Amino acid sequence: MRSFHRIQGFAERLAASVRPPRGGGTNPGAQLRAVVKASTWRRPRTGGAGLVAVAGLGAAIHLGSSHRGAGSCCCDEPLAAAVGKRYARSPVRAFYLRPDADELQLLEAMAGKHGVGQSAGFELAWGDVLPPGSDIDVLIVRIPSAKDLDSLSPSLQQVIVPFAGPTGKTLQLLRDRPHLSLHNCHFNAASTSELAITLLLAATKKLLEKDADLRQTAASDPPQQWVAGWEDSSLNSVTLNGRRALVLGLGSIGSRVARVLGALGMEVHGVRRRVPTGDQATAGTGSDLRIHGLDELDSLLSVSEVVVVALPGTAATDGLLGDRQLRAMPRGSILVNVGRGSVIDEDALFEVLKEGHLGAAGLDVWFNYPMMPGQGLGSEEMRLGPSKLPFHELGNVVMTPHCGQCSTTKARDRIAELEAMLRELCQTGILPNKFDIHTGY
């Protein structure tokens, strides 16, 4: 432990000696200080000699040494060489438990790119069962069991769930094991944000209604003359350009949606838990985004003609949009939900759509889910449909079966995201996408 603190102290002094680059740009000293601050203790590997620091600390020492300004000095130059050589090359050992069949070939390709002999490399293995006596730092698993986590102690440090929303069962397992950190994977951000825009346009442009009418006319017997849109005012639809949109949740999905809405000419506002300094005062038109706190939700809803929900399902977001909030939206507004069904009150949503207060909705997430034994998903008392209410009878609702992640590139995108996460852990000592098991996102 004393040696680790000596190394850490050296890295801090080295960070202070790094000069900012001429002409601006990223300051390596600031990068180094961030890595040092995040550095934690790593237990010895089986058969290893002594304790070692996270790989990122050694890598950071090399980073700082290569950027020190002329004339700067450090009394621990020999230590820099020794520690950097040892720790920067300490591989991270990861295991992917029960991967999907379509991921196996991609995993083979990724494993071939990252080995022990490479700088900032990692060892990756996978399988349907954990090998006995495993010495693993990072476990990748969809639905971990208590046995999975406990069998890897004490080497295991991080758990990656390879999708966005860990189940309640997984969260409880990690709460009971505070020495482990949980991380999620945002591989589906592109496909889900694309679906959100698709639902919005389909609902706004009455796409399903127009498609069904034209098909019916074309299939009629005897044949009927079809009517062009310019001759039928009932086919008129809302134009989004110049209108105001509100995005609830500005994570990897919501932020993408906001950029597209801006490109469509909308005035885009977003709500998130924390408002970054300075963003509140930015322009709110075109492709710019004005960010607000949750305390402004009611006033924003009253002036937003499009609302896109991209929030996770947590205790804080449960029922966030109830009858009062939905009726506060201007009459004829459009609502899209690609976050979680629990964010919107089921009964209130059905009523405002049935009455026509909301002009239309595009829904990909629901209130009832199929039971998935052992995974903490679904309900044994669920009804067969996605809701207890007949949303399918409403002509102003576009329905999809929670398929935001469904893509022909799903496996490729997931493996690419996992690779990027492991590479960052090797290079900086920090595994991205840390999930707060207490807040639920």
Domain-embedded: residue 223? yes
Peptide bond into 386 cis (omega under 30): no
Judge whether residue 64 has pLDDT over 70.
Answer: no
Q: What mean pLDDT do residues 429-433 have?
A: 93
* pLDDT value of position 245: 98
Judge whether residue 166 has pLDDT over 60.
Answer: yes
Domain-embedded: residue 440? no
What percent of the chain shows pLDDT beyond 90? 58
Of 382 and 172, which is predicted with more confidence?
172
What is the DSSP-derived secondary structure letter of residue 344? B
Q: How confident is the model at residue 119 (pLDDT cuts 50, 70, 90)?
A: very low
Give yes or no: residues 56 and 203 share one domain: no
Lowest-confidence pick of 22-31, 131-140, 214-223: 22-31
Judge whether residue 95 has pLDDT over 60.
Answer: yes
Q: Cα(241)–Cα(52) distance, rounded to whole angstroms?
A: 57
The enclosing H or E element of 268 equals strand 267-271
What values do phi and psi take at 159, rounded to 5?
-120, 125
Structural domain total, the chain: 3
Which ranges of 176-206 does DSSP label H, i.e. alpha helix? Answer: 189-204
Domain-embedded: residue 333? yes
Which ranges of 39-167 does DSSP label H, i.e. alpha helix? Answer: 55-67, 77-87, 104-113, 146-151
CB 279 within 8 A of CB 291: yes
Give yes or no: residues 316 and 353 share one domain: yes
Phi-psi group of 59: left, alpha or beta (phi > 0 → left; psi -120 to 50 → alpha; rest → beta): alpha
Give yes or no: residues 56 and 97 share one domain: no
Chain segment 269-280, per-residue pLDDT in tens:
999 988 876 544
Q: Give the strands of the sheet with 397-399, arranged side by side.
A: 289-292, 267-271, 244-248, 306-309, 333-337, 358-363, 397-399
What values do phi and psi take at 141, rounded to 5?
-160, 140
Q: What's the token pair of residue 86?
A: 């040892």
Chain segment 228-239, per-residue pLDDT in tens:
988 888 888 999
Chain segment 324-344, per-residue pLDDT in tens:
999 999 999 999 999 999 999
Give yes or no: residues 259 and 139 share one domain: no
Domain-embedded: residue 441? no
Phi-psi group of 53: left, alpha or beta (phi > 0 → left; psi -120 to 50 → alpha; rest → beta): beta
Q: What mean pLDDT do residues 290-299 have?
A: 95
Judge whether residue 75 has pLDDT over 50.
Answer: no
Judge whether residue 248 has pLDDT over 60.
Answer: yes
- Taking residue 258's Cβ as centre, other Cβ atoms within 10 Å add up to 27
Lowest-confidence pick of 64-78, 154-168, 255-269: 64-78
* pLDDT value of position 133: 77
Judge whether residue 1 has pLDDT over 50.
Answer: no
Residue with tokens 């009878």: 393
Q: Give the CATH number, domain containing residue 145.
A: 3.40.50.720
CB 377 within 8 A of CB 369: yes
* pLDDT value of position 123: 87
> Residue 33: which domain range?
2-87
Of 381 and 414, which is predicted with more confidence?
414
Give yes or no: residues 106 and 164 share one domain: yes
Give yes or no: residues 375 and 418 share one domain: no
Q: What's the token pair of residue 216?
A: 């019916």
Residue ending a domain, among 87, 107, 125, is 87
Residue with tokens 């980073």: 63
- Taking residue 51's Cβ as centre, other Cβ atoms within 10 Å add up to 12
Burial of 208 (0-12, 13-18, 19+ CB in 10 A): middle
List the end-to-end C-alpha distance of the chain, in Å, as a whole number: 33
Residue with tokens 């995108």: 413
Judge whether residue 24 has pLDDT over 80.
Answer: no
Q: What mean pLDDT do residues 161-173 have?
A: 90
Q: Cα(61)–Cα(64) distance, rounded to whole angstroms?
A: 5
Domain-embedded: residue 363? yes
Of 85 and 15, which is predicted with more confidence?
15
* pLDDT value of position 112: 74
Closest by Cα among 440, 414, 416, 425 to 158: 425
Q: How confident is the model at residue 286 (pLDDT cuts 50, 70, 90)?
A: very low
Domain-embedded: residue 405? no
Give yes or no: residues 283 and 176 share one domain: no
Residue ending a domain, among 47, 63, 87, is 87
Closest by Cα among 150, 93, 154 to 126: 93
CB 127 within 8 A of CB 97: yes
* pLDDT value of position 235: 84
Q: How confident is the model at residue 74 (pLDDT cuts 50, 70, 90)?
A: very low
Give strand ranges (E) for 272-338: 289-292, 306-309, 333-337
Give yes or no: residues 172 and 237 share one domain: no
Closest by Cα among 351, 359, 297 to 328: 297
pTM value? 0.76
Judge whether residue 136 has pLDDT over 80.
Answer: yes
Domain-embedded: residue 406? no
Domain-embedded: residue 154? yes
Of 211 and 13, which is predicted with more confidence?
211
CB 27 within 8 A of CB 16: no
Residue with tokens 């050992």: 93
Residue ending a domain, among 87, 119, 146, is 87
Give yes or no: residues 142 and 278 share one domain: no
Lowest-confidence pick of 162-176, 368-382, 424-438: 368-382
Give yes or no: residues 274 and 357 share one domain: yes
What percent of the chain shows pLDDT beyond 70? 72
* pLDDT value of position 8: 60
Of 16 and 231, which is predicted with more confidence?
231
Q: How confident is the model at residue 41 (pLDDT cuts 50, 70, 90)?
A: very low
Please work out, in degrees rounded to the nearest 5, the angle formed at the alpha carbon of residue 70 by the alpha carbons of 66 and 76. 60
Phi-psi group of 429: left, alpha or beta (phi > 0 → left; psi -120 to 50 → alpha; rest → beta): left
Give yes or no: residues 178 and 246 share one domain: no
Give yes or no: residues 296 and 382 share one domain: yes
* Mean of pLDDT over the chain: 81
